[in-house]
Chain A
Amino acid sequence: MAFDKTEVEKVAQLARLHISDIEKDEVTGRIKDILALIDEMQSVDTDAVAPLAHPLDMTQRLREDDVTESNRRDELQQLAPEVEAGLYLVPKVIE
């Protein structure tokens, strides 16, 4: 896959990251190196290997469906810049 600066810009946009023009070239180069390594790994025969979802060889512990948390709205809303009628206020997201 041809990987260039446009891809970096797209990924940065999706991740809401600001990258300066100088950084873009540097990041593009580093990601290219990583992709080259991945290309090399692609040549390994993994037919008999199950996909790894997690590096730990353990399974998920489950939680009982019991309420353990109490209402801490007042305390938590002290952290917010603006609240009204119990809601957290943010800049308008649709016109």
Chain B
Amino acid sequence: MEWEAVIGLEVHVSLSTNTKLFSGTASIFGAEPNTEANIFDLAMPGTLPVLNKEALRMAVKFGLAIDAEIGKRSVFDRKNYFYPDLPKGYQVTQLDFPTVGKGSLTITLEDGSERQIGVTRAHIEENAGKSLHEDFHGMSGIDLNRSGEPLLEIVSEPEIRNAKEAVAYLKKLHVIVRYLDISDAIMAQGSMRCDVNVSIRPKGSTELGTRTELKNINSFRFVEKAINSEIQRQQYVLEDGGTVIQETRRYDAERDTSSPMRSKEFANDYRYFPEPDLLPVEIDDTYIEAIRATLPELPDAKSARFVSEYGLSDYDAGVLTATREMAEYFETVARSSGDAKMAANWVTGDLQAALNKNNWDLAESPIQAERLTRLIQRIKDDTISGKIGKTVFEAMLEDGSDVDQIIDSRGLKQVTDSGAIESLVDEVITNHPEQVQQFRDGKEAVLGFLVGQAMKLSQGKANPGQVNQLLREKMQ
């Protein structure tokens, strides 16, 4: 039988506010354990929550970016369960009236085709702390730094059909929240997390199968692997005449398998009720429109504009808009150098390679936009050849001084002096009588070889156009 998967994603994004969702405690990743855990976050008696303005603004901004309905009245609820890293015994979340309602986003698949995936809702909630289960002589260690950190939980419609689409959806969310500057969304640090609901059904069926929920997935690659492994598992169960049990499973990336979580680790009945310590949040059109006005150009629109405005290929435009920083870098170089194609080649080629090789963020690159612009200008005005440009680029990675100074001090300036080029050409003609004869006999292709020899002699510094022309003239 042919099966079809039905997949829905619940993505948690931690909002990059300065402080927690309901308290003025700092909320910065990587602090010493419990140094960002105050009386509010420890749920000391008598503490009361006050909603962070920024968290609300960021949620609304996200909603507008995915064309979602914005809840003008949102209500917080308590989700009750007991776990040591949740000192209050409940998580404050939004159940019936989330800040962000139905929206959608477009994913691009590997073959270039596009699909629209619905977003059911996105609600604001607080994070729990972290439990460490190793090395505490039989006890668990609790770090409450994350406790009360603002999260946006983005719930997709069950419209995703395979693991690749799930990854594409996740990547799209990742790039959108980063463009919006509302989260770092670093999966390895937990600032973007993903739970996956998977069920399968006979292809063509409209009924939904029993679903399982996979937790603990912390990289794009594992999302794909975890989903494929779960689809496979459900197929075996069903083809074996068994039934899939609705349960929560923990994915183990090392063994590429999942196992059911013990029921103690989660309760199915959270006994939700409206949070009496918080009043309903009301926002109006003026507020919403003011946020809409701050929306940046989003990746899809930017990519389309790069294609039409700069004549880039879809592929290059996609690569250059992968992050907002990269797109802005490219655009600065393209505009100030006046050569978008060259800018795109340098950015997607040598620059990207240098970033990968050195494991740098763009911001850490010793070659910022102004320096790359200068390099391109020097190639365009024939100070250096394109080939020498690569040498200069390599030198610029090591040497922070001015581009012109690097070219001068290393003697990389292109030789355009016709006397010097003439002597080069004469030398090549003398050294390669055979090829010269072949050219004279009409074998045009040999010219390339001879130009190459002259360039080699000049250590790449001769102007190839001039060499070409002079060789031709001399061999006539």
Contacts and interface: CB of A to CB of B under 8 A. Distances in A.
A71 B141 contact: no
Nearest to B261: A94
Contacts of A59: 279-282
Interface residues of B, number: 54
B51 A92 contact: no
Dominant secondary structure at the A interface:
loop
Q: Which of B32, B141, B262: most chain A CB closer than 10 A? A: B141
Interface in A16-71: 16, 51, 53-54, 56, 58-69, 71
A51 B132 CA distance: 41
A14 B269 contact: yes
A63 B144 contact: no
Contacts of A62: 50-53, 56, 281
A90 B140 contact: yes
B18 interface: yes
B143 A87 contact: yes
Contacts of B23: 69
B274 interface: yes
A15 B144 CA distance: 22
B142 A73 contact: no
Nearest to B27: A67
Interface stretch (B36-44, B339-347, B398-406): B36-44
A85 B280 CA distance: 40
B54 A65 contact: yes
Nearest to A93: B140
Interface of A: 10-11, 14-16, 51, 53-54, 56, 58-69, 71-73, 76-77, 82, 84-94
Contact of B32 (A58, A63, A86, A88): A86
Interface in B61-102: 75, 80, 82-84, 96-97
Contact of A92 (B33, B138, B265, B282): B138
A89 B18 contact: no
A54 B37 contact: no
Nearest to B270: A14
B24 interface: yes
A72 B38 contact: yes
Contacts of A88: 34, 84, 141-142, 144
B18 A65 contact: yes
B432 interface: no
Contacts of B56: 62
A56 B275 CA distance: 12
A73 B37 contact: yes
Given A14-B267, A54-B280, A69-B23, A76 B39 contact: yes
A90 B42 contact: no
B26 interface: yes
A71 to B, nearest CB: 5
B271 A14 contact: yes
A73 B34 contact: yes
A76 B25 CA distance: 14
A69 B139 contact: no
A4 to B, nearest CB: 17
B358 to A, nearest CB: 34
Given A53-B97, A67-B19, A72-B38, 12 more contacts: A14-B271, A54-B75, A54-B280, A56-B279, A60-B280, A63-B52, A71-B36, A76-B38, A87-B33, A87-B141, A90-B139, A93-B83
B269 A86 contact: no
A15 to B, nearest CB: 8
A54, A60, A89 interface centre (most CB from chain B within 10 Å): A60
Contact of B141 (A58, A66, A68, A84): A84
Contact of A65 (B33, B52, B96, B267): B52
A10 B356 CA distance: 55
Contacts of B42: 76
Contacts of A54: 75, 274, 276, 278-280
A46 to B, nearest CB: 15
Contacts of B96: 51
A92 B274 contact: no
B274 A87 contact: no
B259 interface: no
B456 interface: no
Interface in B6-34: 17-19, 23-26, 32-34
B133 interface: yes
A89 B141 contact: yes
A56 B282 CA distance: 14
Contacts of B438: none
- The 8 A-B residue pairs with the shortest CB-CB distance, nearest first, are A68-B24, A87-B141, A86-B33, A65-B54, A62-B53, A60-B279, A53-B75, A63-B50
B142 A90 contact: yes
